[in-house]
Structure 1
Amino acid sequence: MTPPRDAIDRLSPAVRYQIANGLGWSGLRPVQALSTEAILDGANCVVLAPTAGGKTEAAFLPLLSRMDVEDWRGVSVLYVAPIRALLNNQEARLHRLTGLIGRRAGKWHGDVKEPARRRLMDEPPDVLAITPESLEAMLLSTRTPARRFLAHVRAVVIDEVHAFAGDDRGAHLVALMERISRIAEADIQRIGLSATVGDPETIVAWLSGSSLRPQRVVDPGGTRKPPELALDFVGSLDNAALLIDRLYPGTRRLVFVDSRRRVEELGHRLSQRGVDVYLSHSSLALSERTAAEKAFEEGTNCVIVATSALELGIDVGDLDHVIQIDAPSSVSSFLQRMGRTGRRAGTKANCTFLATDDDALLRAAAIIDLFRNGYVEPAGPSSWSPHVLAHQSIALSMQERGAAAHAWWGWLEGCAAFREVSTSEREAIVRHMVYNDILVEADARLALGARGERLYGARNFLELYAVFSTPRVLRVLYGQTEVGVVDAAFLQDKERQSPNFVLAGRPWRIVGVDWKGGTCSVEPAEAGSYPRWFGQPVTLARSLCQAMRRVLHSSDHDASWSKRAVAAIEAQRASHAFLDDAPLPLEEDSNGRCRWWTFGGGAGNRILAGLLEAELGARVSPGNTFITFVDGAAESAVAIRQAIDALVARAPLGWADAARLVDPDQRSRVSKFQPCLPKEIEHGLIARETMSVDDANETLAAWKRSASNPESRA
């Protein structure tokens, strides 16, 4: 897309003056010129540019121009980010931008204390940086006059929009935008910012909801320098620590690890080697994370080990290298992480993968393969989110101090997250909630019922502020200083290796645990085991699994692979030689098991395994790349083929097929608002949250295509 040459001339004189004199720029970058046109034309848009590509200015310069020309007053722009750390990181930048034209920015989230909030209420800023959860809390609060405070909102800027689009927080966010647009009585402009979105047209339509504004994708395109990629096979985390110690001496390295436990383990191993190392993950105290990021930013020869939290646009200074232990689960995450580098003139973005086992090596090679082919996963926001709708009905009953039973839906009508929730389903959800005393209906108004208060009313309705649940954790205190948090279940595990544990890269001895108060007192120790934080197993997408198959089936070597990586991948290719003879082979092993190598992704395989188990009458287990048949199910490969053929004859599969697989006696917990849903809708939700009919149907279609060559099924 070619940027208009006169875009800067459309900005207000004050903004143009400050671009030259306040910012010291000679003009606008292509993305800023294009976004200026789109935003001043009044469009809802998604702005795409690499990390540090000027997306924040791309959104705010035209918005500040409109603010200046149209004399917006009060809180007129909301800046929404997925995590508090990003809001903190952007605070100075927003202050500087708004200050260019004599306006103000403010910040509001869970760490902002009450005196600061009161000052914001007394003197509302022009731009308010906030999380969705804090927006919800503001709307529900009896102490915050949200209607007055938000009455003048004219635009919402959503940073890292891809981080919202694929989950419940995104559905919550677009519902909040509908509610705020009703309060402001305006068609609020919606602007999403991202470096990595595979389906930007879908995202801008999802953000728009009931808005009647035109929709645009702002993508400056253009060629970018190819990054420097390296993939090495190191075999263990200890070897990874050794290599990180020796790699790129005298530089600042950011190491991504995809679990908090392994962040602690790697950080501890590096510190034992004398490396200047800092840690960052969500279970460390804010003071620990802030100190680590600041020390790292000011260092010159150091390492920070972090989880995915540091991929979300947070500035930790001018990085030299990104190192990935094993592999992320998506190309999008890889691009975000690699985008932390290559910001200085004359430097390139770079990423070094250090694989600690064969599975991680294959996954990393597949990520590189997808990247080489220009693929980024679609975010695929849901348009059927009945649990979030239930959450919003409760929130509205509280916001309105009793929502009119016939009118509450008017607050949300047009929201893209509920577009496929039918009228009958919506009415059934409310009836179910009233019947179960989650809501009560009196005088044609809906209010929170006694059971609703028990489920969601504790701690000043904290459970209603967010659509997601968090496990019970205990605060770890060294004296009066908070180190971080650990799962209560970890401390209760009597089989852990040591009574001591490592947190923030340092070993601690437990002095005492206050279960009622939720604290664990510690003192320094010589050694300790690494804590566990309990989460869900990783489900890989079909696209990634298919790329893994391509790597195994190919004879090519990517230029990024080290000699060790080449040797390890060649060994995997030799052990998967059966893939050469069949696109979706059945492999029988010496233990009496049979595997169907679908490379179909975990969510699609889950449906197929459930339906095949029902057909065969014996246990069938899904994985990401294969489906395993054991015991009676593995007795006959012919019977397995016949069962698969029977599924092909039934295809295409639908969500009703998936919902029937949900065990009513062992329901998965996918949302804390499941009690608000009738059983049939709850089963449908579990199915959609854990399975993929599209992926299952693609696998069945591939099996059907192989039918033309019977030998390929051998």
Structure 2
Amino acid sequence: MDVFSRYAPFVQDYIYRQGWQNLRAIQQAAGDAIFNTDQNVLLSAPTASGKTEAAFFPILTLLDEEPPSSIGALYIAPLKALINDQYQRLNDLCAEPGIKVWRWHGDVAQSQKRKLLRHPSGILQITPESLESLMLNKHMDIPSLFGDLRFIVIDEIHSMLRGDRGGQTFCLIERLARLAGCHPRRIGLSATIGDPTAAANFLAAGTGKGTVTPKTGDTHEVWRLSMEHFYQDPHQAGQDDDSNENTQPALEEATDKAPTMADPGLAYIFEHTRGKKCLVFTNSREECEAVCQALRSYCAANHEPDRFMIHHGNLSTAFRETAEEAMRDDNVMMTTCATATLELGIDIGRLERAFQIEAPFTVSGFLQRMGRTGRRGNPPEMWFVMREEHPESRAMLPELIPWSLIQGISLVQLYLEERFVEPPRTGRLPYSLLYHQTMSTLAAGGEMTPAELASRILTLSYFDDISQDDFKVLLRHLLKTDQIERTENGGLIVGLAGERVVNNFKFYAVFQENVEYSVHSGSEELGTIVKPPPVGDKIAIAGRVWVVEDVDHKHHQVYCHEVKGRVPAYFGDVPGDIHPRILERMQQVLQEDKSYPYLMKNAIARLKEARAAAQSSGMLDHPLINLGGKMWCLFPWTGTYSFLALERLLRRKCAKRLGLRGFNSVRPYYMQFSMDVDEQHFYEILKEEAAADFDPLDLLFDKEVPSFDKYDPYLPDELIRKGFAEGVLDIKEMRRCVRRIVRQGHSKYVK
């Protein structure tokens, strides 16, 4: 029997109503895996290929054939917006058989949540943070809610593979299954899985089952891709070169029409979004605000109506949903400036193209952002816009390389040539999450003996690398700091200090948060900021500028009114997790003498300049380059965490022997420093120290406590230090990098 015939009649009717002539390959493959095995399933296919339906058509068929006595399927998604989008689609599908679809997140009315608690059934859609809240606050209801849970669908699973939020999600799934006494199958969905085997193992951890990863064939992908480069002044790369004397006509036109368009890259975006529905992606909320302000000012300078909206995580729900609704409306030709909040799979209508300002950190991010376009029969379309300050005449070598342009080329080429996407990040020691899940388990379950608590926590798959000794160190510290306390019976409960942490709604999230202030203009909530300025100063939010009228520090409220102008925004630090393969491919971009069909004129000229600078400097043959006198520059061509380990090796283990001083790095591209030894001795010393059998803790400075994760402040210093040394610093990759540096860079000296 084929998959379509196996579907329930209401699913078949739904397919007929949609006018589909046949099932897509991923839907056929998913149906076969879900119907004909009892394994977990990982569905990886391009954006808009029908993965959600591929999973839910067979799931709903099975739930309809044998209705569960509780919630039958749990759908976990990283964004409320994605849940809201899928909620409408699933309701349409489930209306005929009367299968109930529920939502549980911060914007859902309590009345709806109470109905679910009284009559658990159907499908529940939830975020990781709301699942944490449910496990903590409705602990006694978990068996009745999920006792007959059959499936857990994890959407955008790639976003769960490299950090504590994914670890939290999988810890919660395991805890829920144990508490409810159920054994649900896991179904992972993603458009960007690079290593299916590693992702499949991650998905299945703790289930006792394998994972089926259906093969649907190598689909032929068609992209519309361009990449252009702009200096942030009128003179562009290659203008003095006869072969590139004609710059983009649209840019010249824009500059002539509006002299106030001081940023040629944004002027380029301004002209190429007119009359179209587009997205403009940035890598930070600060940049998102700045770009939106500038584009709106160009509208004013050209006497055009404002055609730009904004969407990022610090905006109020009303602002975000307004932008989402406008994007879904095919009659509204607006462009939205956005961060990763629109990177994941919500349906935002028929977008004509996406712009990406600077290179994203990951191949996965690039693919997700490009995948926002290309729906409803059109190919995905992305225009990269790379901007940099014009190097000064006396600029040293590293400043002559357009790092963002080279990184953008590397991201694209890695996927085109190898289908490379970042794999799950393994080998970490997630002590911050260990604290969080320990406190959550104690708060939810009440008094436990130390042995019982350890059996519940250390058996969670995500903590496989945590030893019993480490857990004892944690518990002793938590007792000492009153995070937990011992009862007369010898059991453990949450202490007074711990209650202040656990009873705060921010406890549900494990990602790092800044202290945020809610911003209001009259009765309208605009969003949140950090570090509010004094009264009378200006702030930037929602793509506009506001003057601060009052700051209520006790209640974290800011009151303001709108004015004209432009000011920078600040929402906290932006992390970057760049894989070693990206840096290695960047080096190859500079080495190879080939063109890339998606590069535009300025980018071609700028790449030519960069290759000439790299070639003449010798940096492609010798990673260590003399910048003059005793000043040197090292180009390791490795990822963020191995780069960080190499920094520490040089500063902690090599500094005295090298006579190292004035150390400065631009991660993960290069390091600059002065030293007293010559090039030959540098390589010899580096090789010896990297090969030595040292304790990873030796790479930390005396009394250094590198606190990065949200709950690090509640950990003992020794675990923070160990977690950084053994779980963050990638020493294995660093040693591989050093061997390559020594071999390639100075083989004429090192025999």
1:637 CA displacement: 3.0
Task: Tell me how far apart the structure 1 counterparts of residues 746 and 290 of structure 2 sit (CA, whole Å).
Answer: 51
How has the CA–CA distance of structure 1 residues 649 and 689 changed in structure 2, closer, same or farther, with 3 Å as cutoff?
closer
Task: Tell me how far apart the structure 2 counterparts of residues 418 and 247 of structure 1 sit (CA, whole Å).
Answer: 49
Higher mean displacement: 423-432 or 525-534: 423-432
Partner of residue 439, structure 2: 394
1:6-39 C-alpha deviation (Å, 9 max, x unpaired)? 223333x435543444544444211111111212
How has the CA–CA distance of structure 1 residues 622 and 271 changed in structure 2, closer, same or farther, with 3 Å as cutoff?
closer
1:609 CA displacement: 1.9
Tell me if the contact between 2:281 and 2:337 (Cα under 8 Å) persists in the aligned partners.
yes
In the alignment, structure 1 residue 269 sits paired with structure 2 residue 300: no
1:312-342 C-alpha deviation (Å, 9 max, x unpaired)? 1121111111111111111111111111122
How has the CA–CA distance of structure 1 residues 501 and 674 changed in structure 2, closer, same or farther, with 3 Å as cutoff?
closer
Partner of residue 326, structure 2: 295
How has the CA–CA distance of structure 1 residues 381 and 648 changed in structure 2, closer, same or farther, with 3 Å as cutoff?
closer
In the alignment, structure 1 residue 95 sits paired with structure 2 residue 91: yes
Q: Please point out which of 270, 285, 304 is paired with 1:245.
A: 270
Tell me if the contact between 1:206 and 1:417 (Cα under 8 Å) persists in the aligned partners.
no
Partner of residue 369, structure 2: 337
1:647-684 C-alpha deviation (Å, 9 max, x unpaired)? 34327x7xx42x33233534222223324544433212
In the alignment, structure 1 residue 30 sits paired with structure 2 residue 25: yes
Higher mean displacement: 385-394 or 312-321: 385-394
1:340-383 C-alpha deviation (Å, 9 max, x unpaired)? 122232x2212111100222222212222212212211132456
SS in 1 for 2:288: helix
Unaligned runs of 5+ in 2: 233-261, 300-305, 389-401
Give TM-score scaled by structure 2 length. Answer: 0.87
Partner of residue 448, structure 1: 494
Task: Tell me how far apart the structure 2 counterparts of residues 430 and 96 of structure 1 sit (CA, whole Å).
Answer: 49
SS in 2 for 1:224: coil
SS in 1 for 2:736: helix
Partner of residue 479, structure 1: 522
Partner of residue 74, structure 1: 70
Task: Tell me how far apart the structure 1 counterparts of residues 337 and 669 of structure 2 sit (CA, whole Å).
Answer: 32
Tell me if the contact between 1:178 and 1:412 (Cα under 8 Å) persists in the aligned partners.
no
Alignment of 1:409-558 (within 5 A): 409-412=454-457, 414-442=459-487, 443-454=489-500, 456-457=501-502, 460-487=503-530, 489-491=531-533, 499-558=537-596
Give TM-score scaled by structure 1 length. Answer: 0.91
Higher mean displacement: 622-631 or 189-198: 622-631
Tell me if the contact between 1:230 and 1:560 (Cα under 8 Å) persists in the aligned partners.
yes
Tell me if the contact between 1:383 and 1:416 (Cα under 8 Å) persists in the aligned partners.
no
SS in 1 for 2:263: helix
Partner of residue 379, structure 2: 348
In the alignment, structure 1 residue 280 sits paired with structure 2 residue 276: no
Partner of residue 179, structure 2: 183
Tell me if the contact between 1:138 and 1:144 (Cα under 8 Å) persists in the aligned partners.
no
Partner of residue 344, structure 2: 312
SS in 2 for 1:560: coil
1:148 CA displacement: 2.4
1:100 CA displacement: 4.0
Letter in 1 for 2:539: F
In the alignment, structure 1 residue 377 sits paired with structure 2 residue 402: no
Tell me if the contact between 1:339 and 1:349 (Cα under 8 Å) persists in the aligned partners.
yes
Identity of aligned residues (%): 27
How has the CA–CA distance of structure 1 residues 584 and 300 changed in structure 2, closer, same or farther, with 3 Å as cutoff?
farther
SS in 2 for 1:576: helix
1:252-298 C-alpha deviation (Å, 9 max, x unpaired)? 11111111122111112222222511110111111011112212322
Q: Please point out which of 612, 619, 630 is paired with 1:574.
A: 612
Task: Tell me how far apart the structure 2 counterparts of residues 512 and 300 of structure 1 sit (CA, whole Å).
Answer: 36
Tell me if the contact between 2:293 and 2:566 (Cα under 8 Å) persists in the aligned partners.
no
Task: Tell me how far apart the structure 2 counterparts of residues 645 and 315 of structure 1 sit (CA, whole Å).
Answer: 52
How has the CA–CA distance of structure 1 residues 580 and 586 changed in structure 2, closer, same or farther, with 3 Å as cutoff?
closer
Task: Tell me how far apart the structure 2 counterparts of residues 592 and 84 of structure 1 sit (CA, whole Å).
Answer: 54
Tell me if the contact between 1:175 and 1:415 (Cα under 8 Å) persists in the aligned partners.
yes
Alignment of 1:689-704 (within 5 A): 690-704=728-742
1:412 CA displacement: 4.6
Task: Tell me how far apart the structure 1 counterparts of residues 496 and 49 of structure 2 sit (CA, whole Å).
Answer: 51
Tell me if the contact between 2:359 and 2:404 (Cα under 8 Å) persists in the aligned partners.
yes
How has the CA–CA distance of structure 1 residues 468 and 645 changed in structure 2, closer, same or farther, with 3 Å as cutoff?
same
1:410 CA displacement: 4.0
1:402-424 C-alpha deviation (Å, 9 max, x unpaired)? 23432234445653311122233
Partner of residue 238, structure 2: none
1:242 CA displacement: 1.3
Task: Tell me how far apart the structure 1 counterparts of residues 622 and 725 of structure 2 sit (CA, whole Å).
Answer: 25
Partner of residue 710, structure 1: 748
1:45 CA displacement: 1.7
How has the CA–CA distance of structure 1 residues 17 and 557 changed in structure 2, closer, same or farther, with 3 Å as cutoff?
closer
Task: Tell me how far apart the structure 2 counterparts of residues 622 and 691 of structure 1 sit (CA, whole Å).
Answer: 16
Task: Tell me how far apart the structure 2 counterparts of residues 601 and 128 of structure 1 sit (CA, whole Å).
Answer: 39
How has the CA–CA distance of structure 1 residues 395 and 537 changed in structure 2, closer, same or farther, with 3 Å as cutoff?
closer
Letter in 2 for 1:605: F
Tell me if the contact between 1:509 and 1:523 (Cα under 8 Å) persists in the aligned partners.
yes
Task: Tell me how far apart the structure 1 counterparts of residues 610 and 575 of structure 2 sit (CA, whole Å).
Answer: 23
Task: Tell me how far apart the structure 2 counterparts of residues 383 and 24 of structure 1 sit (CA, whole Å).
Answer: 48
How has the CA–CA distance of structure 1 residues 570 and 483 changed in structure 2, closer, same or farther, with 3 Å as cutoff?
same
How has the CA–CA distance of structure 1 residues 621 and 461 changed in structure 2, closer, same or farther, with 3 Å as cutoff?
same
How has the CA–CA distance of structure 1 residues 406 and 640 changed in structure 2, closer, same or farther, with 3 Å as cutoff?
same
1:31-50 C-alpha deviation (Å, 9 max, x unpaired)? 11111121221211211011
How has the CA–CA distance of structure 1 residues 151 and 340 changed in structure 2, closer, same or farther, with 3 Å as cutoff?
same
How has the CA–CA distance of structure 1 residues 681 and 564 changed in structure 2, closer, same or farther, with 3 Å as cutoff?
same
SS in 2 for 1:406: helix
Tell me if the contact between 1:159 and 1:193 (Cα under 8 Å) persists in the aligned partners.
yes
1:250 CA displacement: 2.8
Tell me if the contact between 1:545 and 1:624 (Cα under 8 Å) persists in the aligned partners.
no
SS in 1 for 2:49: coil
Task: Tell me how far apart the structure 1 counterparts of residues 79 and 537 of structure 2 sit (CA, whole Å).
Answer: 33
Q: Please point out which of 405, 412, 426 is paired with 1:368.
A: 412
In the alignment, structure 1 residue 18 sits paired with structure 2 residue 50: no
Task: Tell me how far apart the structure 1 counterparts of residues 279 and 266 of structure 2 sit (CA, whole Å).
Answer: 13
1:115 CA displacement: 2.4
How has the CA–CA distance of structure 1 residues 582 and 528 changed in structure 2, closer, same or farther, with 3 Å as cutoff?
closer
In the alignment, structure 1 residue 563 sits paired with structure 2 residue 601: yes
SS in 1 for 2:356: strand
Higher mean displacement: 171-180 or 27-36: 27-36
